[in-house]
Amino acid sequence: MRIQITLTPSESKRLIAKGVKAMPSVQKALKSNTIILAGGTTNTFLLEEFTGIFIKKKSMYTLGMIAEGKTGSSSVEGRIHPRVIRYGKPEPADRHWRDYLPELTAGDIFIKGGNAIDHTGLAAVLAANDMGGTIGASWGPVIQRGIEFILPIGLEKLVPDVRAAAEFMAGHPVDEAIGDKVGLMPVMGATVVTEITALAILYQVKAMCIASGGVDGSEGAVVLVIDGNKGKLDRVMADLRALKGEASVR
């Protein structure tokens, strides 16, 4: 049996957040370890899933963002700094997430969203900060120590070839830009979670993205066809119908 579903970007973010939370390693970390939840719009949904705290203006849980047709950043006023979840509970907001990096050990998790993913599953992050921003500060220590790096990312961000794009950008900085100038940093070794991954984690079904894009509020939407037995697909359809109408990220 097969079903078809269309998800807007915000609906995809909610599904991906639920999928990440259901990962065995994340479930274990929520009980016994530390999770650094870096800034990002998809990570806002994860913060909600982890803590039950609703965040109305989700763009405030990120610094860099693409909005109003340009690369830029969120407003300083009202910005929510990245949180650390330890033993299932948020750590004090006044302690910077970077302070936890030297303390990370096996079983801890670092979660950071991305800006590009290709058909091979390789993802990349944009960085406007001259020191590489969050990814520049975290990737080395996390990968060197074997800490799981989870990268939740929607298929709306699918690009032809991340490696080719990174090589195209390397050594040739942008001279002029509409918005902030950025670099592209591929993230090798990350556990990438898309809508397809989330569906496999949550329901043990196979999905394929067959189309993307839209108009009138469905810009960035993805059309998925999901294959599985009737019992599983009845659950999938009921749950996805329930998350339809997720408000757009503002």
In this structure, what CATH number is given to the domain that contains residue 44?
A: 3.40.50
Whether 102 is in a domain gets the answer yes
Whether 244 is in a domain gets the answer no
Chain centroid offset of residue 85 CA: 17
What pLDDT was estimated at residue 166? 97
Question: For 36-83, what is the HEC assignment?
Answer: EECCCHHHHHHHHHHHCCCCCCHHHHCCEEEECCEEEECCCCCCCCCE
- Whether the pLDDT of residue 28 is over 90: the answer is yes
Whether 239 is in a domain gets the answer no
pLDDT band at 152 (very low <50, low <70, confident <90, very high): very high
- Contact residues for 98 (Cβ-Cβ < 8 A; gap 6+): 137, 138
- Whether the pLDDT of residue 184 is over 90: the answer is yes
C-alpha separations of 18 from 113, 182, 205, 227 in Å? 14, 30, 15, 20
Q: CA–CA separation, 62 vs 110, rounded Å?
A: 15
Mean of pLDDT over the chain? 96
pLDDT band at 76 (very low <50, low <70, confident <90, very high): confident
Contact 213, 155 (CB under 8 A): no
pLDDT band at 77 (very low <50, low <70, confident <90, very high): confident
Whether 228 is in a domain gets the answer no
Whether 72 is in a domain gets the answer yes
Whether 98 is in a domain gets the answer yes
Q: CA–CA separation, 231 vs 5, rounded Å?
A: 17
Q: For residue 207, give both structure tokens.
A: 């999905």
- Whether the pLDDT of residue 78 is over 90: the answer is no
**Overall domain count for the chain:** 1
Whether 104 is in a domain gets the answer yes
- Whether the pLDDT of residue 174 is over 90: the answer is yes
In which domain, by residue range, is 173 found?
A: 10-195
- The helix (H) or strand (E) run that includes residue 94 is none
- Whether the pLDDT of residue 186 is over 90: the answer is yes
Question: What's the distance, Cα to Cα, between the start and end of the chain in Å?
Answer: 37
Whether 208 is in a domain gets the answer no
